[in-house]
Amino acid sequence: MHVTALRRDADGPLFDAGEHRLKLQVLADDVVRLVYTAGDEIPDPESPMVVEQDPDGEWALVEREREFELVTDALRVELDRETGALTWRDADGDLLVREPDEGGKSLVPVSPEDLTVGDHEVATPRESLDREAYSTRLDLEFDDSEAILGLGQHEGGVADYSGEGQTLYQGNTKVAMPAILSTGGYGMLWNTGSLTTFHDDQHGSYVWTECDDALDVFVVAGDPDEVIAGFRDLTGEATMLPKWSYGYVQSKERYEMGEELVEVVDEYRDREVPIDCVVQDWQYWPDTEDHHPNFEEWGGPAGDWGQWGQKSFHEGRYPDPSATMDALHERNVRLMVSIWPNMLAGENYDEMSDAGHILDDEDVPAPGNEQRYYNAFSEEARDIYWNQAKEGLFDHGVDAWWCDSTEPYDPTWTLPTAPDPFALAKHTTDAFKRVFDPGYLNTYSLHQAKGMYEGQRATTDDKRVINLTRSGYPGQQRYGAITWSGDIEATWDRYRTQIADGLQFTAAGNPKWTLDVGAFFVGDGPSWITDGDFDDGVDDLGYRELYVRWFQYGAFLPMFRSHGTDTPREMWRFGEPGDRTYDTLVKFDRLRYRLLPYLYSLAGWETHRDYTMYRHLALAFPDDEDAHDVGDQFMFGPSLLVCPVTEPMYYGPDSEELSGKAEAREVYLPEGTDWYDFWTGERYVGGQTILADAPLEKLPLFVKAGSVVPMGPQIQHTGEKPDAAWELRVYPGRDGEFDAYEDAGDGYDYEDGDYAFTPIRWDDSADELTVAEREGSFPELVDERDFEVVVVGEGRGTGVELADPDATLEYDGSEASVDVER
């Protein structure tokens, strides 16, 4: 390859690279797009993933004897004239990442049509499959000291992808996100919808995509938060979810009638246990005379599942859906309803089929293919789907969507035993390729989320869109979607690995992730994917212990939601007041609600500042190499270090008592700061591993010195006591700050500037707390609020309960300060 400069466009230089063209498109000073193509034209960056871009970076091109150098204020990109190898450096010239000396870009022609499986009509967002396409490969050389994060949610609990490999495709419990974030000061996002593999293993160090128009990669320079901000600039802002969605969400498989939903909420209210949402899982729809076949051969249940996918309520079990919604809303609780992309029978199926938007998927391996999926790649089909959901559910007052099975195919059910990862990848992606354009097989969920978001936004701006979905892709955060990890099983190992799996998802740029607290499958079911350890469910003391630990962890996720099958999930099913398990569940539920001012501020930062609340330690402490491979701890916002207990201490399955287990776990405290034990106030120096006390009632939880953590009153729902005083817990040892965020809690007026930040500052040397002038306003704003300042120390300002304040500051929106004696 010999590279010559072809022309200098306004957005960056174009090079001739023999049979190919190479474009370095400067989208911003810290974002440069690499396009390597066999065509003469450079495709626009916009795609289902990438929003419209307006390149505005300043750049210069320096020509030397052996290389070209593209220079911006944040990046220096060297291009070898002889080999075409690219080297990426920061503004100071320090190496970020590079291709091998001989170059690392390759394109191999492929036919999208030939990559499909079987003889089917294939769904595509393009005009046809008849186009030039390529499998692409980009070889890279990583530094031994950097951690590689991202790639989405994959099973295994990998904390650092250095030295690892991963196949990116969609599946139940697997979410593809073609992005990496390095602690070395950069990130890379592939503009693809194709099957993708990442390698830093025995095969080499490279990223391969199966079917694309070109090799198309965005390189973003900066620290981890700046890289994620760059990813969001490319794929869209994370929308605000409604404030109530940050409260407790009670779900199970399943509530069977409308009055049962109200009864469950009444029980929570009677017990004074906080709750904000109850969930209606599947089979609320009408019955059908057509029964599913017996699925014993693949391990699933037999029986009548009704008009699966019909988006309307059964008239007998939900005789007045609007009245049910009213009853829930009167109790300050919302309803989330499960909807599916597949349709078995009924009016929804008939309408979609008559319009020609049911996919040609009859012989795709899946459990009983009377379920047929709609073509979410079609705008017309998405409009029909939304109108069905609106007329059958939303118009009755339904508040939130649970879009299940949005991969959408889950052929794992058809396998009798667990296959090896490569066989499973082929089995799953072959199913997708029967009906999807291979260039877009990972993007169904993105299109589905788009349809729900645009449909609801066109209907009303009074309710924020919230869509709990089982799959995800970069860009989905702009559609009000939050991904949950799928149908996981109740084992200690699965619980442990979920922590890192979720952290890798958020490191890829989408901050909205959660899981089924307690796991979906609890007992040992008939299929390999339903293999939990606790056949007796809530009656098994071993499961109660696991559930409590999972619940403690869930209290620090973007959505706090219990869900699953095989056994009940309401808190009183695990005991009564005075029982260790019940009391601990209630304690952590109440802690979640006390932290609401902190938590909702983090949500505001995610939208307005491209923040991420569920944070890998390497994202928060990129220079601390000892933090890079910690996969069972995380930062919740800037202040809280959460350390879930991931091993049993008291009971195994079948209530078998364990002996010799210490009520403690090892905790790594990142370097560069001191840490406070949230429960005792004891102070520790960072950069060390300690043995933290961890009986069942206690999740090891530490707070970074210099933190200001706002906490609210004890409440029963997120809308209660809006004008109550906030407790400001100050953790001394260094100066601190926190910008509290508030808005109306629902609706989209925040897009027009209706929100406020309240800057809170702690001067450690002066023992002075200052609340600066409020920035912004909105009609529902509480103009005056008391702040009760508590300086934390050993035995003071600890735990869930309210503390006696060291000082009280009366705030009316103008700057005010208070001296604190300690």
- DSSP 3-state assignment of 309? coil
Nearest Cα to 336, choosing from 394, 265, 267, 277? 277
Is 146 an annotated catalytic residue? Answer: no
- Quick one: angle between helices 347-354 and 379-392, nearest 10? 160
Dihedral, CA atoms, 59, 60, 64, 68, nearest 10 degrees?
A: 30
Which amino acid would we find at residue 175? V
Cis peptide before 615 (omega within 30 of 0): no
DSSP for 190-233, written as a single string: E---S-EEEEEETTEEEEEEEEESSEEEEEEESSHHHHHHHHHH
Q: Which of 80, 407, 742, 746 is catalytic?
A: 407
Nearest Cα to 481, choosing from 236, 717, 181? 236
C-alpha distances in Å from residue 731, one per residue of 640, 676, 763, 792: 11, 7, 11, 5
Spatial contact of 129 and 116, defined as CB atoms under 8 Å apart: yes
Is 407 an annotated catalytic residue? Answer: yes
Spatial contact of 70 and 30, defined as CB atoms under 8 Å apart: no
Q: Which of 370, 404, 540, 743 is catalytic?
A: 404
- DSSP 3-state assignment of 710? strand
Dihedral, CA atoms, 227, 230, 236, 241, nearest 10 degrees?
A: 40
Q: What is the rounded distance in angstroms from the CA atom of residue 683 to the CA atom of residue 734? A: 13
Residues 6+ apart with CB under 8 A from 582: 571, 572, 574, 575, 576
DSSP for 405-460, written as a single string: --S---GGGG-SSPPPHHHHHHHHHHHHHTTB-GGGTT-HHHHHHHHHHHHHHHH-
What are 431's two structure tokens?
């199913």
The residues that bridge with 17 in the sheet, in sequence order, are 3, 20
Spatial contact of 106 and 95, defined as CB atoms under 8 Å apart: no
Q: Which of 67, 80, 487, 589 is catalytic?
A: 487
* Residues tagged active-site: 404, 407, 487
